[in-house]
A and B are shown apart, each in its own frame.
Chain A
Amino acid sequence: MKILVCITHVPDTTSKISFTDNNTKFDKTGVQYIIGPYDDYALARAVELKEQSSGSITVLNVGEAETEPTLRKALAIGADDAIRVNADPVDSFFVANQIANIAKEGNYDLIMMGRESIDFNNGVVHGMVAEILGIPGLSPVMTLDIEGTTAKMTREIEGGKESLEAELPLVLGCQEPIAEWKIPNMRGIMTARSKPLNVVEPSDNSVRTQLNNYEMPAEKGAVKMVDADNVSELVNLLKNEAKVI
């Protein structure tokens, strides 16, 4: 089975977010970058599937040279080779087009990624890729098993989950508990250095949105503390001040 896992290169969840250039550019100073947490789940499940039934995993990122350590980490976790589309991922449509073009050439059985990136949070790239390729796409996928050419999955729905079945090829947006995150071991880290990382130029530069600027949310007011022996005061505040009960 050939699996393509698409990963994002995103600021660590704990990063402080700020902008420069009159709020038009993200300030990367001091920011630690990681594999998108949802993409990490997709990659972990792909590694498990490969261990069960052989095959190969190609990991793909649309990003500039600075994302290569993130791709190397994915190689250390268990991907066989990597592709970096050398471009700034400015727009979901742009990214989806790059992924779809790579996918068409590679003839993959499964195209997996996270349900959303934790920077832009659009959560639509997997669906766009599926539509461009004309194949089913499902998200958010919580479990995945492959039997022959059939994928059996559960997908989260509001307040529960549904069990689904579809024939490969498929595009999946993944989330927990599809697999436990994997931490690269020393052998993985060493072998990752020699695995192929191919850089390709973008195949299509179309975008459908234009970023004007960023904004920060209004500062939150100070917390109002209530004495533990005076719980009815909290109820009073929730009813008459916040008006939420």
Chain B
Amino acid sequence: MSILVFIEISEGEIKKTSLEAISYASNIESGVTAIAFGEASEENLKVAGKAGASKVLHVSDDKYNEANIQAYASAIAKAAESEGAETIVLANSSLGDPVAARLSIKMGASLASNVVAAPDTSNGFVVKRSIYTGKAFANVDLTEGKRIIGIKKNAATIKEDGGDPSIETFSPDENADDFKVKVLSQEKASGDVLLPEAEIVVSGGRGLKGPENWGMIEELAKTLGAATACSKPVSDMDWRPHHEHVGQTGIKVAPSLYIAVGISGAIQHLAGVNASKCIVVINKDEEAPFFKAADYGIVGDAFEVVPKLTEAIKAING
């Protein structure tokens, strides 16, 4: 019996969240097979072995270079059948979630996403899910024989002590109906660090007074190797693009460090960042509600504090 893990490739490399999914799966059972789509070198695919996969199925046909929800779900279902895999693990993402949904119907499987802990198999197959946008958890029993688990970012520690996996080309049966959606173009943010993947996020709010003041946010982010983000009013006013908007209806992030500058901390904003490991709040209003959710806080003028913070970080980095 094996567990199959759907791994996502970005710029030819396995995404960090997918390595987390492999490590999560290898804690359930030792026979982990990963399935990857699109352009990736054998060397890069072998990284899955370190995280705990013993085999990687590679769907390398050019047709699969575009992330196609239906075609990926069909191929994964086929791979699960040929591998005898009854459990599929994947990382929650804008691709992983819809793929998981289709797959669960194809396989007749139970499904849980936003899973944050290893399953408890002492009585059934119980996973802990994040619900109410991080305000609570639900312990849910996946009652079908087959199951699909979507894991939340940072819910598993990436293993690095695994071995050398075999890499096999996998050719799923193609169904013309799976290729009815045409991808016309893609537009990716030009920043070095993508927000959903970032370990550190520096985020600005209305307190920055205008888009012309974002230079200091970008400078701090650059110094930390961080992504930049913003609150909803900021993207609504077009100071920053929508894909930087963090919150209940924007991107939800779970970095190790989230630095909020000039953001008061409306509950809708907190819903997008409450999975962060450490939150720093810089705000001149000492009554800002965000301080209650923060680990560290500074009451002060962002225009004075942020440049000083950037300099202090540069100093320790030498």
Taking beta carbons and an 8 Å cutoff, which residues of A are in contact with B? 11, 13-14, 17, 19, 37-38, 41, 92-93, 96, 118-128, 130-132, 134, 136-140, 142, 155-167, 173, 175-177, 207-217, 220-221, 223-228, 231-232, 234-235, 237-239, 242, 244-245
Contacts and interface: CB of A to CB of B under 8 A. Distances in A.
Contacts of B139: 211-215
Contacts of B84: none
Contacts of A162: 183-187
A232 B15 CA distance: 33
Contact of A158 (B93, B105, B111, B130): B93
A223 B297 contact: yes
A157 B95 CA distance: 7
B69 A138 contact: yes
Secondary structure class of chain B's binding surface, majority of residues: mixed
Interface in B251-310: 256-257, 267-268, 271, 277-278, 280-281, 291-301, 304-305, 308-309
Contacts of B185: 162-163
Contacts of A132: 105
B1 interface: no
Interface in B186-216: 186-189, 191, 194-197, 200
Contacts of B130: 121
A244 B143 contact: no
Given A119-B131, A159-B194, A212-B141, A127 B97 contact: yes
B186 A217 contact: no
B142 interface: yes
Interface stretch (B36-44, B163-171, B242-250): B242-250
Contacts of A220: 293
Contacts of A37: 248-249
B106 interface: yes
Contacts of B297: 223-226
Contact of B271 (A13, A130, A225): A13
Interface of B: 10, 15, 67, 69-70, 73, 92-95, 97-102, 104-106, 109-114, 124, 126, 128-144, 177, 180-189, 191, 194-197, 200, 224, 242-243, 248-250, 256-257, 267-268, 271, 277-278, 280-281, 291-301, 304-305, 308-309, 312-313, 315-316
B111 to A, nearest CB: 6
Given A213-B139, A223-B291, A164 B183 contact: yes
Given A121-B131, A158-B197, A217 B136 contact: yes
Q: Which 4 A-B pairs have the closest CB atoms?
A: A127-B101, A228-B300, A159-B194, A160-B188
B73 A131 contact: yes
Given A159-B188, A159-B195, A224-B296, A131 B105 contact: yes
A122 B98 contact: no
Contacts of A166: 180-182
B194 A138 contact: no
B94 to A, nearest CB: 5
A231 B298 contact: yes
Given A92-B101, A173-B98, A242-B278, 13 more contacts: A17-B135, A93-B104, A96-B105, A127-B102, A132-B105, A140-B94, A163-B186, A163-B187, A164-B183, A164-B184, A223-B297, A226-B297, A244-B200
Contacts of A228: 298-301, 304-305
A164 B293 CA distance: 39
Contacts of B73: 131
Contact of A176 (B134, B250, B300): B250
Contacts of A137: 69-70, 98, 101-102
A209 B185 CA distance: 38
Nearest to A157: B94
Nearest to B255: A244
B126 A157 contact: no
29 contacts: A13-B248, A13-B267, A93-B104, A118-B271, A121-B114, A122-B113, A125-B101, A127-B99, A127-B101, A128-B104, A136-B181, A138-B181, A158-B93, A159-B188, A159-B191, A162-B184, A162-B185, A164-B182, A176-B249, A209-B111, A210-B143, A211-B138, A213-B139, A216-B136, A217-B134, A217-B136, A224-B297, A225-B296, A235-B313
Nearest to B242: A177
A14 B266 CA distance: 9
Contact of A124 (B67, B104, B180, B267): B104
Given A17-B136, A177-B242, A244-B256, A124 B101 contact: yes
Indicate the member of B101, B113, B134 with the most A CB atoms within 10 Å: B101
A234 B114 contact: no
B181 A165 contact: yes
Nearest to A173: B98
A148 to B, nearest CB: 15
B243 A161 contact: yes
B264 to A, nearest CB: 14
